[in-house]
Structures are given as C-alpha cells and as structure tokens.
Amino acid sequence: MRVLLSTIGSRGDVQPLVALALQLRALDQQVGLCIPPDFRDWIAGLGLPVIPIGPEVRNAGRARRAATTAAPSPEQRRQLAEATVATQFETITAAAQHCDVIVAATALQIAAPSVAEKMGIPYIFAGYCPIVLPSPHHAPPPLPPLPGETPPSATAANSELWARSAERFNDLFGAALNARRAAIGLTPVSDVRSHMFTNRPWLAADPTLAPWPDPTDRNVIQTGAWIVADDRPLSRDVETFLDAGEPPVYFGFGSVHASAEAGEAMSQTARALGRRAIVSRGWADLSLRDDRADCLVIGEENLQALFKRVAAVVHHGGAGTTTIAALAGASQVVVPHVYDQHYFARRIHDLGIGTAHAPGTPTIESLTSALERTLQPEVAARAQSIATEMRRDGAQVAAERILKESGFRNQADT
C-alpha cells in the first residue's frame, strides 16, 4: 500500500506525521510526506520520501513579522487564497499518484480531500487537539478577526462560534476551491471546513491529556498522540550542564515568535528562584546577554530525554511539546500565544500538572509567580502520576487502523 501524508505548518504539525510514517514503514507499507521544505533534510535523513509544498514556513513567518504594510485588502486575501489552493492542488495531485490513501493533518488542507475524491481513494483528516474539531461542548480555537470582521460577543454560544468559523473558511477559500474542483470535473462544495474535516475525523491526541469531550460520540476516532520515538543522546554540553548541579528549568517557545527580552526574562526568573536554566533558541532565536554558568542556551536536542531531567518545563503550549512534557512526568508552565495553545494551557492547569500563564509576553514577575506554583512537590507528584496514565502507542494504533480501513493487512499477519 502507498500512503501520502500531508500537512502545512511548523514542526509541531509535521512531526506527528513523521511518527505515523515510521509506523507505516515498520508495517512494510510505502509512504511519502508532502510537507513544507523547512523539514526536507530532516525527514529525508530518516529515509522517508519528501515532496516539498509551498514556501519555507519559518522564512514566511519572518517576512510577515518584518512587514510594515497594512493588513492585506480583501482582494489581496483572495489572491493569496487562490495561490495557496493552486499550489496545494498541483503539488498534492502529483504527490498522490499511485497512492492508495491520503492522510492530511491541520486545518489548511484545502485541496487534499478533493484530490482523493478525484482519484477515488480514501481520505483521512486528523487534528492534534480536540478544539480544532467542531463540537457543541467547546468553542473553536481563537483567531484574530480579519479587517472589517466584527468580533463575536463574549457571550456567543459555541454553535454561533462554529458557524462563524465555517463562514470564515468559505469566505477565504470557497471560491478558489470550487474553481479548482470544477476544473477537474468535481461538483462544488458548500462547506469548505466540513469537506476538509470529513464527518469522521481522527483525533491524534492523548485521551488523558486532551480527551474528546463526548465519549458517546463515535464519529471522532481518537488514536492517541503520534510521537516520534527519540533515542538520540543528549549533547555533551547539555550532559555536562545537567551533571553540574540541581535539575534546571527548561524554557522554550518552539516555532512561536518571542520578543528579544523573553530570553533574558527566562534566565532572570530562574535566578530569582535559585534555579539554573536551559533556554532553547527555537525559531525566535532566543539568546542571553551574559554567559554566566547557571544558564545554558541550546539548539536542537532530544526533548524526550531532556524533559525527564529538568525541574519544570516552561513553553508555548504546542500540542507536541505539551504531550512530550506530560509523558516525561514534568511539571509545566504554559504561556499560550495562538490557536490550540490556550486549550493546552487550561488542560495542564485542570490536570494539576502545572500552571496556565496569561497569554502574551511573560515578565520576570509573571514567570516567577507561575513557576513558584509549579515547582511545588504536589504538582511534581501529580505530573508523574499523569505520565503513567498516558498512551505511547498512538502512531501504531493509527497506522494499523489505516491498513484495516483501507482493506490492507500487514504482511506479517498474512
């Protein structure tokens, strides 16, 4: 069987699909990944075929932040949407040749379901967080209003918020999607979001950390989180630093932009509490103004190993980082910025395994207060307990289900 896995986004969007790809390969299936070019070398190094799609995500984000022009006009948004949809149709159509199933993840997979429909093959959509999927039990992830768009009232019901979300998808992508569908002989769709998500989406999230809110709902298939097993040793610098004193506090915001002052606030917070710090540069290129021995700035590391050896993890609340920290039994402080990060901040608070920091740029005072609450023995004990309840086989469960639902079986089972 040939499986195409597709996503557009940062490493947090790509890495779960890498975990699924590795599990499918372990089951003797052929797999390719259609992903942003930022991650081509990493994935190719794992021996997995890569089909780049679109521009580099990191550079595009930098360009947006550096821009000083006004927000795009409706006509500019239309042109951007048309360009995005055109790129997706062209790239995914070429990548899906001779494939038996397409699995797409994240909420910008506009073309993938139509490509699968045209080819007559199954299509599966997966989300990494419950709130990306419609439900009367929760609101959609918060998004900044578009120019001219009236924000919803603070008392708006979930049903109204989901209706507005659907309208937004239709306004942004409906015309471009249906023009492309017409060009390949497909009928128009009236609801872009439902077309993309399907009526039976998958939820690649841990059921303890991020459960689907309605256990009686059989239309959402929760497999568990898709985690790449990482057996790389920590770098010599990190090992030396860890061995030189008490467990430090880890600070990192992954692919989220953070201000130049954030790194300094992190180190000063740790010192205020008598702790050492490890600061991850991430896509924000965080750094420190001094080179004192109580702080270490790092690049790419095995976070699964590192998080088991720190006193707490302070991060942005991405699905992947939150899950890895929870699996490691680490206490957490989540400083949410966008999208589903607000959900994970609430979850680690509700589970008693850390503190939900207020959204936005943290200060020394706010981080110190949050860490004081998080570094309590009862929080650490709760985090260790929750870690024992979490699943570690989500990618395997998903891979086996893909084979079953597509009519294939592992050769080992024949």
From residue 204, give the alpha-carbon distance in Å to each of 113, 201, 337, 338: 18, 10, 21, 19
Which residue, among 35, 29, 31, 36, has the nearest Cα to 49 in the 3D structure?
31
Q: Is the pLDDT of residue 63 over 50?
A: no
Alpha helices in 244-363 (DSSP H): 260-272, 303-306, 319-327, 341-350
Q: Is the pLDDT of residue 61 over 60?
A: no
From residue 28, give the alpha-carbon distance in Å to each of 225, 356, 408: 21, 42, 11
| pLDDT average, residue stretch 8-34 | 94
Instruction: Give per-residue pLDDT as tens, 99-156.
Output: 999 999 987 899 999 999 999 999 999 999 999 999 999 999 987 777 777 888 888 9
Instruction: Give per-residue pLDDT as tens, 366-394.
Output: 999 999 999 999 999 999 999 999 999 99
The two beta strands, 50-52 and 332-334, are unpaired
32 vs 15: CA distance, rounded Å: 14
Instruction: Give per-residue pLDDT as tens, 166-213.
Output: 999 999 999 999 999 999 999 999 999 999 999 999 999 999 999 999
Q: Which domains does the chain have, with CATH numbers?
A: 2-227+392-413 (3.40.50.2000), 236-389 (3.40.50.2000)
